[in-house]
């Protein structure tokens, strides 16, 4: 009888640990109030790299609505095969952010299935990146291949969870 109790206790603890370890961030856990776009133009002086990408940034502000974290336009463009580079535009001020995590997002042979390389919602501060985040730069997890969950705080991304995947 005591062996059965031990086995049940062990399996319960093991199962609980697995369930806790696999709890993933959800968009609803990181809500953002969606606001209207009011910036008349991109503030090219707000970041040193903004002038280099002015055409992409201006087109995004003119042709896109708020699509991330309540008041931002997350925009990206190609930087090679299977690679995207991106920026955030504050749709109220026109200020631009170039977080390192968006500089060279790459799938690197990862099967995306039903996922995009980056997934995000206009009413959430959560960004999910599949593959490599900030490829070629010093970044979290030493540029490991996997799924990255980030929270945007208005100035930078904070890594919430990383799940390593084999490439």
Of 107, 102, 96, 87, give the one whose Cα is nearest residue 134.
102
Of 67, 82, 162, 79, give the one whose Cα is nearest residue 116.
82
pTM of the model: 0.81
Least confident of 10-14, 92-96, 121-125, 132-136: 10-14
Q: Is the dihedral of CA 119, 53, 56, 88 positive or negative?
A: positive
Contact 87, 97 (CB under 8 A): yes
| For the chain, domain boundaries | 30-164
- Using DSSP's 3-state secondary structure scheme, residue 43 falls into coil
59: pLDDT strictly greater than 70: yes
65: pLDDT strictly greater than 80: yes
pLDDT digits (tens, 9 = 90+) for 128-155: 998 888 865 555 556 688 899 999 999 9
Q: Taking residues 86-93, what's their average pLDDT? A: 97
Of 151, 33, 29, 152, give the one whose Cα is nearest residue 92.
33
pLDDT digits (tens, 9 = 90+) for 4-31: 665 455 555 544 444 445 699 999 999 9
Q: What pLDDT does residue 80 have?
A: 80
Least confident of 81-85, 121-125, 161-165: 81-85
Least confident of 17-21, 38-42, 43-47, 95-99: 17-21
């Amino acid at each position: 009888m005591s062996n059965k109790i031990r086995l049940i206790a062990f399996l319960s603890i093991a199962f609980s640990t697995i369930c806790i370890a696999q709890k993933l961030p959800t968009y609803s856990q990181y809500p953002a109030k969606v606001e209207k776009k009011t910036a008349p133009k991109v503030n090219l002086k707000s970041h040193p790299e903004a002038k280099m990408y002015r055409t992409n940034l201006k087109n995004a502000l003119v042709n896109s609505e708020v699509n991330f974290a309540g008041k931002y336009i997350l925009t990206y463009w190609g930087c090679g095969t299977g690679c995207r580079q991106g920026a955030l535009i504050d749709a109220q001020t026109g200020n631009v952010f170039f977080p390192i995590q968006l500089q060279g997002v790459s799938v690197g042979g990862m099967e995306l299935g039903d996922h995009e390389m980056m997934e995000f919602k206009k009413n959430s501060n959560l960004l999910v990146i599949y593959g490599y985040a900030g490829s070629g730069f010093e970044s979290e997890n030493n540029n490991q291949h996997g799924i990255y969950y980030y929270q945007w705080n208005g100035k930078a991304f904070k890594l919430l969870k990383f799940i390593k995947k084999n490439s």
